[in-house]
C-alpha cells in the first residue's frame, strides 16, 4: 500500500483518486478551490457532456494530437466503462445527437455529486483550499508536495491532474506545467483550442447572437482549404463561434501565426447554385413590383437581411423586376459563399481546452508515470493531448486519471 497524493480535484484527479483508493492505497486529494469539479460544473453548458457513446475505436479519430499515446488509457477505461461507472453509482445517463452522453437530469452538478459520493465511499481524504506550490524530489524519486501555506505533505506517489490553463476562474491556472518543467519535463507550446475567432469585418456586431443551423463553413488560406464542415454556428460581437467554429479552431491551430484566414459560409448548402438561382427567380417573379429588401425576407433570418443586402451591392430599394440577371447571379454566389475574414483566435479565457502540455514522450503510456521522476504521474488536460467537442476531452481525463490511479503499486 502506498501513500498517494493527487493534485487537482477535476475530472482526471477525482477518477485517479477513486481508482488508487480502490486498489487499497491511502489517498489524499488536494484541491486549491473551495470545492471540487468547478470546471465540470460549466461543461456542456451546465449539462456536462460526460463522454461519447461511439465505438471505442472511434475515440482515437476525435483526438487531435498524440492519439496513439491513449491506446492503453482508452482500452483500460473505455467510454463504456465510464458510462457504466456513472450508472452503477446512481447517475442515470442518456445519449443525444452525435452520441453525446449527458446525465439524464441535465445537471452537471449531479456528475460532481456522484464523484464525491464515490470518493467518500472509497475513503479518499479530500483537502480543499490546498494549493500545491512545489513537488519535492530526491534522487529522481518523488517524496511529497509543498503547499502554499508552507506545510509539507509526504507521499510515495504523486499524480498531477491540475488541468490546462483555460477558463482560469475554474482553478486551471497551468500550475502543473510549472511543476513538470521544474522537475525536468518538457512542456510543449501552449495554445488556446476549441476557441472562437475574431473577424475583421466591423459589421459582424450587427449579427451578434444570431445562430445559424444547417450551414456549411469553409476556411481557406490562399486558396488551400483547411476546413470544410456542415453544422451550426454563432455570431458574436467580435466574430464567430459555435460548434462548427470551435472544431475549426482545432483544425487550423497551426495557422495562429499565419492569420488572416478566409472563411465562407454556404447559407443554403442543400441547394446547388443553379437550384438556388431558380428558387430566387421564382421568389422574384412572385414579388415583381416589390423592393429588393422586401423580396428576400423568406430567404434569411431577419438580422441577416440588412447585412446581406449591403454586401450584395444591389440597392435595397431597387424594384425586383429591375434586378439584372448578373446581379441576381452575384447574389446567389454571395449566399453560397458569404465571406468573412478570420483575424485571430480569442484567448485562453474563452478556450474550451489548452492544446499542448507535458510532452507525452516523457510519460509511460501504459501507466501515466513520468519517465524522469519515479513515482510521479500525470493525468488529464495537463498532458499534451486534445480532442474535439462531443465528450472526448472529458473521456481523456477519465481514462488517463483511471490508468494513473490503477497503475500505482
Which residue, 153 or 280, has its beta carbon nearer to ligand FAD? 153
Which residue, 30 or 190, has its beta carbon nearer to ligand FAD? 30
Is residue 233 packed enough to be buried (19+ CB in 10 Å), middle (13-18) or exposed (0-12)? buried
Which residue, 377 or 392, has its beta carbon nearer to ligand FAD? 392
Distance in Å, CB of 389 to ligand FAD, minimum: 7
| Interatomic CA distance for residues 185 and 182, integer angstroms | 7
Distance in Å, CB of 145 to ligand FAD, minimum: 8
Which residue, 113 or 308, has its beta carbon nearer to ligand FAD? 113
Residues that bind ligand FAD in the complex, under the rule CB under 6 A: 7-13, 30-33, 38-40, 42-44, 48-49, 131-132, 161-163, 166-167, 171-173, 175, 352-353, 380-381, 391-394, 397
CB atoms within 10 A of CB 146: 14
**Residue 129 grid coordinates:** 483550499
| Interatomic CA distance for residues 160 and 137, integer angstroms | 14
Distance in Å, CB of 370 to ligand FAD, minimum: 16
Distances (CA, A) of 86 to 38, 110, 225: 18, 10, 41
Those residues with Cβ within 8 angstroms of residue 12's Cβ, 6 or more apart along the chain or in another chain:
161, 163, 379, 380, 381, 382, 397, 398, 400, 401, 404
Is residue 231 packed enough to be buried (19+ CB in 10 Å), middle (13-18) or exposed (0-12)? middle
H or E stretch covering 374: none
Distance in Å, CB of 375 to ligand FAD, minimum: 18
Task: Determine contact, residues 162/176, Cβ cutoff 8 Å.
Answer: yes
Distance in Å, CB of 105 to ligand FAD, minimum: 15
| Interatomic CA distance for residues 175 and 181, integer angstroms | 10
| Interatomic CA distance for residues 368 and 382, integer angstroms | 12
Which residue, 51 or 312, has its beta carbon nearer to ligand FAD? 51
Which residue, 309 or 352, has its beta carbon nearer to ligand FAD? 352
Those residues with Cβ within 8 angstroms of residue 138's Cβ, 6 or more apart along the chain or in another chain:
none
Q: Catalogue the E-assigned strands of 187-301.
A: 191-193, 197-199, 211-221, 224-235, 239-241, 261-266
**Residue 395 grid coordinates:** 473521456
Distance in Å, CB of 141 to ligand FAD, minimum: 21
Which residue, 49 or 312, has its beta carbon nearer to ligand FAD? 49
CA-wise closest residue to 178 among 132, 129, 130, 126: 132
Distance in Å, CB of 182 to ligand FAD, minimum: 12
**Residue 174 grid coordinates:** 497551468
Which residue, 266 or 381, has its beta carbon nearer to ligand FAD? 381
Distance in Å, CB of 168 to ligand FAD, minimum: 9
Distance in Å, CB of 379 to ligand FAD, minimum: 7
Which residue, 8 or 375, has its beta carbon nearer to ligand FAD? 8
Distance in Å, CB of 216 to ligand FAD, minimum: 24
Which residue, 332 or 382, has its beta carbon nearer to ligand FAD? 382
| Interatomic CA distance for residues 135 and 128, integer angstroms | 18
Task: Determine contact, residues 187/34, Cβ cutoff 8 Å.
Answer: no
Phi-psi region of 129 (alpha: psi -120 to 50; beta: other; left: phi over 0): left
Amino acid at each position: 500500500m502506498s501513500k498517494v497524493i493527487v493534485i487537482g480535484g477535476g475530472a482526471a484527479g477525482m477518477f485517479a483518486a477513486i481508482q488508487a483508493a480502490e486498489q487499497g492505497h491511502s489517498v489524499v486529494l488536494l484541491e486549491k478551490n473551495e470545492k471540487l469539479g468547478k470546471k465540470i460544473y460549466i461543461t456542456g453548458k451546465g449539462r456536462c457532456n460526460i463522454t461519447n457513446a461511439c465505438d471505442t475505436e472511434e475515440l482515437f479519430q476525435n483526438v487531435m494530437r498524440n492519439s496513439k499515446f491513449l491506446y492503453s488509457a482508452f482500452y483500460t477505461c473505455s467510454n463504456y466503462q465510464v458510462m457504466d461507472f456513472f450508472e452503477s453509482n446512481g447517475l442515470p445517463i442518456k445519449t443525444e445527437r452525435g452520441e453525446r452522453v449527458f446525465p439524464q437530469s441535465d445537471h452537471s452538478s449531479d456528475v460532481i455529486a456522484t464523484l464525491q459520493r464515490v470518493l467518500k465511499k472509497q475513503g479518499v481524504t479530500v483537502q480543499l483550499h490546498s494549493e500545491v506550490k512545489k513537488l519535492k524530489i530526491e534522487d529522481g524519486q518523488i517524496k511529497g508536495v509543498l503547499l502554499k501555506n508552507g506545510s509539507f505533505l509526504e507521499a510515495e506517489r504523486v499524480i498531477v491532474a491540475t488541468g490546462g490553463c483555460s477558463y482560469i476562474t475554474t482553478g486551471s491556472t497551468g500550475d502543473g506545467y510549472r511543476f513538470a518543467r521544474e522537475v525536468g519535463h518538457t512542456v510543449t507550446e501552449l495554445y488556446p483550442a476549441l476557441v472562437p475567432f475574431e473577424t475583421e469585418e466591423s459589421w459582424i456586431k450587427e449579427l451578434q447572437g444570431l445562430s445559424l443551423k444547417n450551414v456549411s463553413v469553409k476556411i481557406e488560406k490562399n486558396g488551400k482549404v483547411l476546413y470544410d464542415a456542415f453544422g451550426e454556428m454563432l455570431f458574436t460581437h467580435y466574430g464567430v463561434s459555435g460548434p462548427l467554429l470551435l472544431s475549426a479552431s482545432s483544425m487550423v491551430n497551426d495557422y495562429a501565426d499565419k492569420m488572416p484566414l478566409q472563411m465562407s459560409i454556404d447559407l443554403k448548402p442543400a441547394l446547388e447554385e443553379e437550384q438556388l438561382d431558380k428558387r430566387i427567380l421564382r421568389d422574384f417573379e412572385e414579388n415583381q413590383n416589390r423592393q429588393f429588401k422586401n423580396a428576400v425576407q423568406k430567404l434569411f433570418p431577419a438580422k441577416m437581411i440588412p447585412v446581406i443586402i449591403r454586401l450584395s451591392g444591389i440597392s435595397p430599394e431597387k424594384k425586383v423586376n429591375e434586378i439584372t440577371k448578373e446581379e441576381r447571379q452575384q447574389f446567389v454566389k454571395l449566399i453560397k459563399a458569404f465571406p468573412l475574414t478570420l483575424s485571430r483566435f480569442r484567448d485562453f479565457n474563452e478556450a474550451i481546452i489548452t492544446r499542448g502540455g507535458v510532452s507525452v514522450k516523457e510519460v509511460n503510456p501504459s501507466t501515466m508515470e513520468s519517465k524522469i521522476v519515479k513515482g510521479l504521474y500525470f493525468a488529464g488536460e495537463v498532458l499534451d493531448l486534445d480532442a474535439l467537442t462531443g465528450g472526448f476531452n472529458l473521456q481523456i481525463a477519465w481514462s488517463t486519471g483511471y490508468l494513473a490511479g490503477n497503475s500505482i503499486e
